[in-house]
Amino acid sequence: MTEKEKRDREELYNPNYDEELIKEMRKAKELCYKYNNINPLNLEERKEFIKKILGKTGENILIESNFSCDYGYNIFVGENFYSNHNLVILDAARVEFGDNVFIGPNCGFYTAGHPIYIETRNKGIEYAKKIKVGNNVWFGGNVCVMPGVTIGDNVTIGAGSVVTKDIPSNTIAYGNPCKVKKEN
Residues with catalytic function: 114
70: left (phi over 0), alpha (psi -120 to 50) or beta: alpha
Is residue 34 helix, strand or coil?
A: helix
How many CA atoms lie within 13 Å of 163's alpha carbon, on the beta-carbon side? 34
Question: Distance between CA atoms of 176 and 159, rounded to whole angstroms?
Answer: 10
Query: DSSP alpha helices (H): ranges in the chain?
Result: 3-8, 19-36, 43-53, 118-121
How many CA atoms lie within 13 Å of 118's alpha carbon, on the beta-carbon side? 0
Strand bridging mode 171-174 / 150-151? unpaired
